Amino acid sequence: MLRTNIWRVVPVACFTLSIFTVSAALPGNLSGQRSELSSGTVFTVEDALDVASARVLDLSPDGRWLAITVASLRDRIGVDNYRYGDPTYVRPSVQELWVIDTHSAESAQVFPGKRSVVRASWSPDGRRLAIVEARGEAFNAWIWDRETEGVQEIALPSGRELAGQGGGGIEWTTDGGALLLSLRPEGWREEAQEEFARLTKGPIVVQSSEEPFLAWEALRRRSGIRSVVRYEIESEAISEVIPTTALAGHRMTADRTYIVYDEDITEKTSYDVIFGRTNTVKAVPLDGGEPATVIESTEDIRATWSEDGRFFAYSKDGDVFLASIHDPEPRRLTGEEEAAEEEEDEEVEPGEEDEEEKPRYSVSSVGPGGERIVASSKQGLWIIEADGDEPYLFLPEDEDDDRAPRYRVIEWNPDGEFFYLTYASRREWERGLFRYDVDDRRMAELVKDDRLYSNFRLSEDGSTLVFSAAPGNHPYDIYSADAGFRRIRRLTTLNPDMERKQLSRSELLPYLDVDGDSLYGVVYYPADYQEGTAYPTVFIVYEQFFDDRYNSTANVLANHGYLVVNPSVDLETGYPGEAWVKGVTAAANKLIEMGLADPDRLGVHGTSYGGYATNLLITQTDRFKAAINISGKVDMISFYTDSPRLGVRNIHAPEKSQDRIGATLWEQPQKYVAHSAIMYADRIDTPLLLITGEQDHNVPARTTMEMFYALRRLGKTVEWVNYIDGGHGMPTMSVEMVNDYYQRIIDWYDKYLKATDEEESET
């Protein structure tokens, strides 16, 4: 039996809101446990590899005990991209598993060293922690006792294995005497691996339109095949709760008496939704009994479930319906039949139509017991009472103000008296947390400042909030607070050396695009910034940017003397190619006007969709002296039906989602041509670096390859770096590859954006 004896006492960090600020000096809880960042002040690629982040696995029901994993990018190195799409493949990822006392901030590492921990769950009394970890390509389960620090391995029947990925969680019964586990059927692994080998190695692969699913989608769907069993901890007896089927997901009700599960009944590949599926929702009592159908088909229903897991609501034609696992017949809560139609000749005063316009609701959240629902409409957020009271608007929103603050309901307290909402301004860096008391109809501001907040989690008893917070352009740490957001404690200091690093100062950049529309971008200043200097500037493009989240690439470039900018663009379906030239060049103009950017030393790059944007952008302007396309497509036509391992993703993207063409290839062929940079390669004068991964099954290297051979044929300046074992984006097969990737980016910009400096110094 493995034992650990590493509880360590650390200073308690307890703060009131008045001093919970960026400049607060916080003690180093859970700090210094990892390899330190490099000793210098310059932020390097090696530092980027070692920046630690935490993932919350579970909070005990009483809010006292928090289980987290801590890992860095270095801990995720070694991906085998050849195995992409293999449902039996487990990507390498090791972490430290920690347990933290949220009352004192004391912490203990459960296992010595790092393990590949997938999930964990606290027992109802908070004394034991059930853990699922990967060992090689199989999964094991453990029970760790917090008081004795002992570990018990869960024994499974011969031939059965845990469904560690693509499966459900690990959950405790009410008395803590049993666990619910997801298991694979015998032979599942062998059959999945055999099918993967057939699709990748042949020797003959035949696909037919007569098959209901695309071959790679059928293989992906195998990850859902599993059963749910009850494992008695003392006797090690196993009984089946949900027989082996295609499970899309399952969860236990809050009182741990029912399992609600989604059974996949999809009949064929859908071209309307990426990885789209249709489910039947059923509920089965844990103490035995037959499953009952709750939702016959989710094809036309998007259910939002209450946190107790018993009630669900959905909107249809703008009205709200409520049902439960005990009474699945939906009850209409809004939009009762009109009493009578008005006479056709009745006069309507000007503006009366808008004033009396019926709200069209969309369900946002369902309170405990299904008693109250929060719904949104273009007028704002509403409370809808299940008892039939008239809905009321508790948070009006100006529908003409597209920059109004954004509120999102995240948690209800257990008795449904109040709920929490996150707050985010869309005009300045101001984020926070609010609480709305339903009976008093009162909104209370709990915190609102310029820090980044995320991952709020409320304990089952409603006593404790756990959340992540960080100043701008810094990694997150974890904090706890009481239900009123008082007694705030910092629980982790994951990167104690970060304060002596030259991280970039960030700033929100408001500007107008070519059409006069207001946009925002994020500026990361050079680490050695001096006022009055115009810097070589790198634009990292994608879509919209607003928050100044920690950005490793921006910090590496800032420490090499570059001003780095994340500009936003206003994309329009049918004409997305115009967006980048309108938005990115306008951001450049603003920065030049401010005296920050050197107009003769502008560079641009992006990854994936950002790489695609970069290549399109430089066909429309020659303002940029260097460009880098990382894993970005260049030919919308060849890309349209490529990437079979992603199913219909590359068809859906232009037709209905990110690529925003808004039509099939055959409906609007001219738009596919217009948005293919390869068709306008002769217009490119910007030196272009292409970076691809040969094993990229998202944007295959062969699509980007087209641009290299086209530009070379045209006598343009181009370089192509293809990582043979690499996948999508930055290569993560080895640390050496990561360093090589960053160095090539830096060298490319130095060559074309800093040559002027070197020539002047030589003169």
Distance CA 437, CA 660 (A): 41
Please indicate, yes or no, if residue 599 is contained in any of the structural domains.
yes
Give the list of residues 6+ apart from residue 616 with CB closer than 8 angstroms, or none: 577, 580, 675, 677
What are the backbone angles phi and psi of residue 703, rounded to the nearest 5°?
-75, -40
Please indicate, yes or no, if residue 7 is contained in any of the structural domains.
no
Distance CA 688, CA 450 (A): 37
Distance CA 718, CA 685 (A): 10
What are the backbone angles phi and psi of residue 82, rounded to the nearest 5°?
-65, -20
DSSP structure class, residue 15: E
Distance CA 735, CA 76 (A): 10
Tens digit of each residue's pLDDT (9 = 90 or more) over 213-256: 999 999 999 999 999 999 999 999 999 999 999 999 999 999 99
Residues 40, 42, 44, CA angle at the centre, nearest 5°? 100
| pLDDT(344) > 70 | no
> Which residue did the predictor score with more confidence, 344 or 198?
198
| pLDDT(492) > 70 | yes
pTM score, whole prediction? 0.90
The pLDDT, as a whole number, for residue 337 is 52
The pLDDT, as a whole number, for residue 136 is 87
Kindly report the CATH number assigned to the domain that includes residue 672.
Answer: 3.40.50.1820
Dihedral angle, C-alpha 55, 57, 62, 63, nearest 10 °: 0
Mean pLDDT of 552-575: 95
C-beta contacts of 594-598 below 8 A and 24+ residues apart: 595/532, 595/534, 596/523, 596/534, 596/535, 596/537, 596/563, 597/534, 597/535, 597/537, 597/563, 597/565, 598/534, 598/535, 598/536, 598/537
- CA dist list (Å): 616 to 572, 674, 693, 700: 15, 10, 20, 18
Mean pLDDT of 135-150: 92
Please indicate, yes or no, if residue 530 is contained in any of the structural domains.
yes
Please indicate, yes or no, if residue 598 is contained in any of the structural domains.
yes
Q: In which band, very low, low, confident or very high, does the pLDDT at 498 lie, cut at 50, 70 and 90?
A: confident
**Number of Cβ within a 10 Å radius of residue 91:** 15
Please indicate, yes or no, if residue 200 is contained in any of the structural domains.
no
The pLDDT, as a whole number, for residue 212 is 95
Mean pLDDT of the chain: 89
Q: How many domains does the chain divide into?
A: 1
- Cβ(332)–Cβ(321) under 8 Å? yes
End-to-end Cα, the chain, rounded Å: 72
Selection from 562, 525, 522 nearest residue 544 by Cα: 522
3-state secondary structure of 187: coil
Please indicate, yes or no, if residue 68 is contained in any of the structural domains.
no
Lowest-confidence region among 178-192, 396-410, 412-426: 396-410
Please indicate, yes or no, if residue 60 is contained in any of the structural domains.
no
Please indicate, yes or no, if residue 452 is contained in any of the structural domains.
no
| pLDDT(699) > 50 | yes
Distance CA 62, CA 463 (A): 7
Note down the domain range covering 586: 502-762
The pLDDT, as a whole number, for residue 90 is 93
Q: In which band, very low, low, confident or very high, does the pLDDT at 168 lie, cut at 50, 70 and 90?
A: low
The pLDDT, as a whole number, for residue 158 is 83
Distance CA 672, CA 666 (A): 9
Mean pLDDT of 294-309: 94
